[in-house]
Amino acid sequence: MVKIHPFAKRRGASCLCCPSADLSMRIRVKTVGTLKTLEEGTRIETLEVPQESSVAQVIELLKIQDWEVGLVLINGTHGTKESLLKDQDQLTLIAPLVGG
């Protein structure tokens, strides 16, 4: 599991490894396609993020450029980068389709 310290501090929460742990949530993130900042293919990981984190904030935490994400799914349903996530959500980030 990945623990996100910088974001948690910025949002006023702490991750579970810190003694003063604040409320956080766990989400599963699946990246599909060739995202420029990740390896090719599909990657799934569990993240611990502050409650009410948006998709855009998670994209930033993963160090993915905004333009690298073509489609957002939350629990298999279309979402937006402004969508707020809930505990145990599965976020799927799909690279834009390119080619001819």
pLDDT digits 0-9 by tens, 5-52 = 444 444 444 454 454 445 789 999 998 876 655 555 677 889 999 999
Looking at 38-42, 51-55, 60-64, 69-73, which range is the least confident one? 38-42
With tokens 């948006």, the residue in question is: 54
Q: What percent of the chain has pLDDT over 90?
A: 47
Closest CA to 27 of 61, 78, 71: 61
Four-CA torsion 55, 95, 78, 22, nearest 10 degrees: -20
**Which of residues 95 and 3 earns the better pLDDT score?**
95
Four-CA torsion 75, 78, 81, 84, nearest 10 degrees: -50
Domain residues of the chain, as ranges? 2-94
Query: In terms of CATH, what superfamily is 2-94?
Result: Beta-grasp domain (3.10.20.30)
Is the distance from CB of 22 to CB of 14 less than 8 angstroms? yes
Residue 32 pairs in a beta bridge with 94
